Amino acid sequence: MLKNKAVRGFTLIELVIVIAVIAILAALLVPTIMNQTERARISRAQGDVNEIGKAMARMRSNTSSTTVACYASANLTAATMPANCAPASGGTLAACVGAAPDAFCWGGPYLPVVPTLDPWSKTYIVTYDSTTTSITVTSTGNDGASGGTGSAADITKTF
């Protein structure tokens, strides 16, 4: 004669309660984790803007160039002075075009790799004002549009 053994398992109510607790915990943690990710992106963009701007300022200091074309991001990785950085009137810096790096002409490359895309996959905007000789580097934030608030705010620094 076989004995009928009672096998004890989880009831449906117990399973529903456990799933509900897990869902509540997930609902509390997901916004916190997402906020940290966005803050990390903003921090990286601020660092990139600062790095690009400082490299451009060093290049401006070395070349004294007033041509807008000199301040293209691609020139930051050039090993020799690009032709578009030479002064229009010639002079002593004109001889530096294509010359090897030295303290007088060209201190490049100024960055080994130029960050071209911000953390939201938008292009960094570098502008040179020839009247004030200032360089402005901008990330347009996660919305890719000028202005905004929070994570959509522009990250801009002038050097």
- With 0-12 / 13-18 / 19 or more C-beta atoms within 10 angstroms meaning exposed / middle / buried, residue 108 is buried
The predicted structure's pLDDT at residue 3? 63
> Is a pLDDT exceeding 70 seen at residue 105?
no
Among 133, 147, 145, 71, CA closest to 108: 71
DSSP state letter for 105: S
- 68 vs 91, residue with greater confidence: 68
The predicted structure's pLDDT at residue 86? 66
> Is a pLDDT exceeding 90 seen at residue 16?
yes
Residue at 114: amino acid letter? V
Return the percentage of the chain with pLDDT > 90, whole number: 35
Among 146, 100, 117, CA closest to 52: 117
pLDDT digits (tens, 9 = 90+) for 106-131: 777 888 988 989 999 999 999 988 88
DSSP-derived pairing of the beta strands 134-139 and 125-129: antiparallel
Q: Which two tokens stand for residue 64?
A: 């004294």
HSE-CB at 46 with a 13 A cutoff on CA atoms is: 8
The predicted structure's pLDDT at residue 58? 87
Return the SS3 of 111.
coil
Q: In angstroms, how far is CA 148 from the centroid of its own chain?
A: 17
The predicted structure's pLDDT at residue 118? 93
The predicted structure's pLDDT at residue 125? 92
141, 144, 148, 152 alpha-carbon torsion, rounded to 10°: -40
Band (pLDDT 50/70/90 cuts) for residue 19 is very high
Average pLDDT over residues 27-35: 85
pTM of the model: 0.70
Domains of the chain, CATH where assigned: 13-158 (3.30.700.10)
